[in-house]
Amino acid sequence: MLDSTRAALISTTQRPEPVSPPEATRPPRIYALDGLRLFAALTVVLYHYTALGGAWPTDVKVLFPWLFPVTSYGWLGVQLFFLISGFVICMSCWDKPLKHFFVSRVVRLYPAYWFGVLATTITVASIPGGASPIPWNDVITNLTMLQEPLGVRHVDGVYWTLFAELRFYLLFAVVAWRGLTYRRVLAFCCVWAVASAFFAKTAEGSPVQLLIMPDSSWYFIAGVAFYLMYRFRPNLMLTGIVLVCFCSSLPFALRTWANTEKYMGHNVQSWPVIVFVAAYFAIMALVATGKLSGITWRWLPYAGALTYPLYLLHENIGREIFSALSPQVPPYVLLCSVIVTMLGAAWLVHRYVERPLGRRLKQGLAQL
């Protein structure tokens, strides 16, 4: 009797740990993500160039009548960026130590960013009649990428998204520190989603809201869940997380839409916002289920390499060029020329700044 009781106790206390879902067989590189990154960057570029105006002598809605109805929603490319970021960061950190995560993010973000801050500052200061450059002490603060919490103006308006990325990295590092597993990452998604909903109405700019960022968190969480789908196959739990993130992101997206109307000076309808966000979630679902794995075009990695430098350089530098040359050059010719120029500049930054400086940073940080 005692032996049977002891055996029962042993069997209950030595149950095997629950296992993660089986991993799916996937190709090592997702070429479609490179193309999606460039697409997202170009939508933001076109929004700044053909929807915001300010640098053009004539109303952009008059200058670009067939572009404006679409490019006025180009700001949603940032939401696609955040979805992709959640996916890619989780993918790149899997089976890697925390130190690798830290080094890879510094090497990826800062070399091109430093160049972008300095190049934008010099351009704005050199071209008369355009935007006013910010003080040099604020430029120096911008080099940290922490200007937003420190109350310092951005050298370029798009840099606000980089601080959002930094906060995502900080939160994700908590999970990466222990090592990524299916259950830990799933718990991270659930906890962050609950916190985002709970603190959504906390005073704007408060420390808690600054960290949780309930306006942008839904895209990062969905991106992480999409990667779990990609690695372990879709299931009801992951699908539910993605759907909750989609539905919860809409109030914040529509609030941003209301603000963009003020920036553009034109009224645009709200329903395309929902359509674009839904389309971006659907595209990431195709990536997560392997439906786009057959895309292996050789030029896509090069396109992906252009994305970050293009994003950093395009806004203020491009608008300064428009301000200086628009009286002499037809608008469509100037628009296309500036976009091509920005793409060329992005490649040069990638080739001669990101890669060499990134290698040196990596070597130095590897000794820590």
Which domain does 261 fall in, by range? 26-365
Please state the rounded mean pLDDT for residues 355-360: 94
Please state the rounded mean pLDDT for residues 7-24: 53
Give pLDDT tens digits for 226-265. Answer: 999 999 999 999 999 999 999 999 999 999 999 888 888 8
Task: Say if 71 falls within a structural domain.
Answer: yes
Task: Say if 138 falls within a structural domain.
Answer: yes
Q: What domain count does the chain have?
A: 1
Task: Say if 1 falls within a structural domain.
Answer: no
Residue 4: per-residue pLDDT: 47
pTM, rounded to two decimals: 0.91
Task: Say if 4 falls within a structural domain.
Answer: no
Please report the sign of the dihedral spanned by the C-alpha atoms of residue 66, residue 72, residue 75, residue 80: negative
Residue identified by tokens 């906890």 is 191
Residue 20: per-residue pLDDT: 67
Asked whether residue 105 carries a pLDDT value surpassing 70, the answer given is yes
Residue 353: per-residue pLDDT: 96
Give pLDDT tens digits for 274-332. Answer: 999 999 999 999 999 999 999 999 999 999 999 999 999 999 999 999 999 988 999 99
DSSP state of 266: S
Least confident segment among 3-7, 42-46, 323-327: 3-7
Residues in the chain: 368
Give pLDDT tens digits for 106-145. Answer: 999 999 999 999 999 999 998 876 778 899 999 999 999 9
Task: Say if 49 falls within a structural domain.
Answer: yes
Asked whether residue 33 carries a pLDDT value surpassing 90, the answer given is yes
Residue 321: per-residue pLDDT: 93
Q: Which long-range contacts (CB under 8 A, 24 or more apart) does 208-213 make?
A: 210/149, 210/167, 211/167, 211/170, 211/171, 213/164, 213/167, 213/168
Q: Where are the alpha helices (DSSP H) in 233-330?
A: 236-264, 271-288, 300-325
* DSSP three-state, residue 187: helix
Please state the rounded mean pLDDT for residues 164-178: 94
Query: Band of the pLDDT at 25, cuts 50, 70, 90?
Result: low
Task: Say if 19 falls within a structural domain.
Answer: no
Residue 74: per-residue pLDDT: 95
Question: How far apart, in Å, are the Cα atoms of 155 and each of 133, 161, 199, 241, 316?
Answer: 8, 13, 30, 36, 9
